[in-house]
Amino acid sequence: MGELWLAGRLGVVTGARRGIEAAMGADARAVAETTSALWHETRGVNLTGIFLCFRAAFAAMAASGEGRIVNIASLSGVYATERFPGLAAYNVSKYGVIGLTEAIAVEG
């Protein structure tokens, strides 16, 4: 569950995420063994969740005429995916967060 906190002109958005700690647990598995449910859940939390927060933040930023968005993804979204075998769904979702952040920076 996410949270939006505003105090005057300062706003902070925090969101739930499917962390690597959880992904490395029982959900770590080869791509051939990754279920559609795990794929969709991981992408839904890590990527769709960010998208929904972006969309809400953009509305607030447009109303105030300014704002900044900072995302924290994961190193596995940039490089070193070989260090995280069995986490394709997680790694792809973090690549997606980085790509979405770059795309929205151009729009914003």
Q: Give the length of the chain.
A: 108
Q: Give residue 64's pLDDT.
A: 82
Q: Give residue 36's pLDDT.
A: 92
**For position 41, which CATH number holds?**
3.40.50.720
Q: How many domains does the chain have?
A: 1
Q: Give residue 20's pLDDT.
A: 54
pTM of this structure:
0.75
Single out the catalytic residue among 45, 74, 88, 90.
Answer: 90
3-state DSSP percent of the chain in helix, strand and coil, to 5: 55, 10, 35
Q: Give residue 21's pLDDT.
A: 53
Q: Give residue 70's pLDDT.
A: 83
Q: Give residue 9's pLDDT.
A: 56
pLDDT along the chain (108 residues), means of 10: 52 57 63 90 88 85 82 78 80 90 86
Annotation says 90 is catalytic: yes
User: Whole domain around residue 46: which residue ranges?
Assistant: 3-107
